[in-house]
Amino acid sequence: MAHPHSGGLAPSSLLEEREGAGAQVFARHLDRLKLEREPAAADDSAAVPFWKRQSTTSSGEGQAISNGSNSAEAAGYTCDDTTCVLPSCHCASVNPPGRLSPKNTPQFITVTADDAVNTFTIEVLDYLLSKRKNPNGCQPKMTYFNSLMYSNYSMVTDWFVAGNEIADHTMTHVGDPPAVSAKRSTLSASMTGEIFDRIFEGLTPSHACCDLTPTEINGNLAALNAFSGIPLVELKGFRAPMLNFSSSTLTTLHTSGFLYDSSATSASPADVAATDAYWPYTLDNGLANNCLDVTGVCKGALKLPGLWEVPMHVVFEANNASDIHLMDPWLDSEDMSEVLAWLRSSFLSHYSGNRQPFGLYTHPIHLAVNYPGLTNPTAQREMLQEFLDWVQTFPDVWFVKNQQLLAWMRDPKSNNQIAQSPALQCSTPAVDASLKICNGLAQNEAGLLLQCPFTEFSWTNCYGCPVTPPTPQNPVPAQNTTLGVRAHLPTNCSTPFFDPVGNRCTCAASSCDFTDQTRPIGNYSTPLSDGNSATGAAGGSFRASEARGTSNTLLTGSTSTSGRGSSTQTSIPRQLSTASQLLIRVTLAAALAFATFLILLS
């Protein structure tokens, strides 16, 4: 098999390096999948995700949607499009940006995935997209909203280096607001063993007072940056698990320097009057979707300048606007010809109307072949291939990741200009195939991945194994140097060109110029090491960003010295023995964890 970068999966030798999770992983993951698909209990609304409370027409995550702008609440949205102008501000609108006519506007399709990145899920996305081409000949890219549980971080690196977008889905897949007592009961079916115990150790119901959203969201940023080598500047998007979000969720995103959220949903067909199937818009004037479901976000109550909302557009059953589907609609009927009809009619409501982006929002594990305990998904997979083949018979259809969509939104190009849009060009890192570096490319990294010995899931890694699994309270534990020493990505070298074993940037050409950004996501760091021994929180992990927010601590990492990829970092004296260094680091990490616990107690 080929690598995702060339349109396929990683070679079998690399897949073997990444395997090792026990059978209990499958059982626990299946528990969580069942939990997400169960109908809501009628007498337990307080503990049920909001999408389940909205309707019982469908059983999938995010399936049931509010009335959106058809409600009196949403009518309170106002925006002056003479002062809210691109590229930094855009009003919620059903019309294409840039005053383009619908017929001269590209029809974008966004394929997104939620949850874990692993061999099963990547195979699904590869199956759906790898053989397709956009009108300019480039392979389509997609957005993966990734959470820690069951993810293999080396595959996150691979998928990112292949040109796809990695976005935030929290560390442990919890909704908002995640009171600890509620989280324990909700997650107990899906998170047993060491991960669950570490996250909730010491947090008794009497301490279930605290909104852990910032640590869940920002901790995931820190872990993805440190252990998958994703630059913070590239971690731009967020989707709330189970689409449970609140005003505090959106405020956290704004403060932490995110570009966009994609948790809000439309509720009406794209081609009807007063639809809330909006093009992406900024929250300078508040949210215009989900106004009956989420308090304090609409009618201008929450103004977050520059933070975009990429609404999720629902799929409707043909000629029936009351039966709606959002995520994984192929799980809502056993008749795939029926689902295909839903998808086709909903797509046409976009294409023949104002060309709002059309989304396929997936949990790809449901389409995985040979995943233990899941029904054979062949019929669903073949139906999706048929649908995607069909939409590509229409002119001006483009598959894009959310970052590409927003880049186009800020600088709209018509159908006869879009092929030259910088964000939609083919992107293939020009890395010397003979180099042996762990960088997310199969041609370079074979034999260099570290196998981290966590019992909950298989985790291979280019950037060093932590001594304990990451948690929201400690997303970047100290490095386990007995398994091999690796440097973390510095501020001035992009992922495919960085050698974490030699701590060097392999490209000095101007075409490789790169500067990461600092994000105001709080100070998670344990003592940092020098780049060669990289045993701290993340040498060079938390870097240069436009901090759109207000007063949080800026996470900064390595300070650039001469030459790309070389860094100066706070270090534990190198003359100490390896054992002494490790003891110091473990002690410091324990002290930090205890301090965090005391803060939570207070």
pLDDT (tens digit per residue) in 407-433? 999 999 999 999 889 999 998 899 999
- The DSSP secondary-structure symbol of 531 reads T
Q: 23-37, 112-126, 338-352, 485-499: which has the minimum mean pLDDT?
A: 23-37
How far apart are alpha carbons 33 and 204 in whole angstroms? 26
Tell the residue number behind the tokens 């818009």, with chain if given. Answer: 281
Predicted local confidence at residue 292, as pLDDT: 80
Model confidence at 67: pLDDT above 90: no
Model confidence at 20: pLDDT above 70: no
Average pLDDT, the chain: 77
- How sure is the predictor about 267, in pLDDT bands with cuts at 50, 70 and 90? confident
Amino acid at 375: T
225: left (phi over 0), alpha (psi -120 to 50) or beta: alpha
Predicted local confidence at residue 11, as pLDDT: 36
Predicted local confidence at residue 294, as pLDDT: 83
How far apart are alpha carbons 365 and 352 in whole angstroms? 32
Model confidence at 512: pLDDT above 60: yes
pLDDT tens-digit series, residues 162-213:
999 999 999 999 865 443 333 333 333 333 344 333 333 333 333 233 355 7
Which token pair is 312? 């999720």
In this prediction, what percent of the chain has a pLDDT beyond 70? 67
- How sure is the predictor about 319, in pLDDT bands with cuts at 50, 70 and 90? low
Q: How many CA atoms lie within 13 A of 294 on its CB side?
A: 30
- How sure is the predictor about 584, in pLDDT bands with cuts at 50, 70 and 90? very low
> 304 has which bridge partners?
283
Domains of the chain: 4-176+212-423 (3.20.20.370), 478-602 (no CATH)
Q: 113-127, 149-163, 463-477, 571-585: which has the minimum mean pLDDT?
A: 571-585
- How sure is the predictor about 455, in pLDDT bands with cuts at 50, 70 and 90? low
Predicted local confidence at residue 510, as pLDDT: 87
Q: 253-267, 279-293, 532-546: which has the minimum mean pLDDT?
A: 532-546
CA dihedral 389, 111, 304, 45 (to 10 degrees): 110
Predicted local confidence at residue 417, as pLDDT: 95
Predicted local confidence at residue 29, as pLDDT: 53
120 and 371 Cβ atoms separated by less than 8 Å: yes
What is the average per-residue pLDDT within 66-83?
A: 69
* Rg, the chain, Cα only: 23
Model confidence at 533: pLDDT above 50: no
What is the average per-residue pLDDT within 344-360?
A: 97
Predicted local confidence at residue 593, as pLDDT: 52
Q: Which residue would you say has higher pLDDT here, 516 or 568? A: 516
What pTM was estimated for this model as a whole?
A: 0.79
Predicted local confidence at residue 33, as pLDDT: 54
pLDDT tens-digit series, residues 94-112:
999 999 999 999 999 999 9
522: left (phi over 0), alpha (psi -120 to 50) or beta: left
What is the average per-residue pLDDT within 304-313?
A: 98
Which token pair is 143? 């957005």
Predicted local confidence at residue 63, as pLDDT: 43
Predicted local confidence at residue 211, as pLDDT: 54
Predicted local confidence at residue 175, as pLDDT: 66
564 and 493 Cβ atoms separated by less than 8 Å: yes
Nearest Cα residue to 167 out of 108, 127, 220? 220
- How sure is the predictor about 583, in pLDDT bands with cuts at 50, 70 and 90? very low
What is the average per-residue pLDDT within 577-590?
A: 45
Q: Which residue would you say has higher pLDDT here, 15 or 250? A: 250
Out of 55-59, 149-153, 384-388, give the one with best mean pLDDT. 384-388
| Burial of 199 from C-beta contacts in 10 A (0-12 / 13-18 / 19+) | buried
Nearest Cα residue to 243 out of 50, 78, 385, 77? 50
Q: Which residue would you say has higher pLDDT here, 131 or 599? A: 131
Q: What are phi and psi of 451, to 5 degrees?
A: -100, 110
Predicted local confidence at residue 112, as pLDDT: 99
How far apart are alpha carbons 355 and 20 in whole angstroms? 45
Predicted local confidence at residue 422, as pLDDT: 94
What is the average per-residue pLDDT within 497-515?
A: 93
Model confidence at 232: pLDDT above 50: yes
Nearest Cα residue to 161 out of 435, 438, 449? 438
440: left (phi over 0), alpha (psi -120 to 50) or beta: left
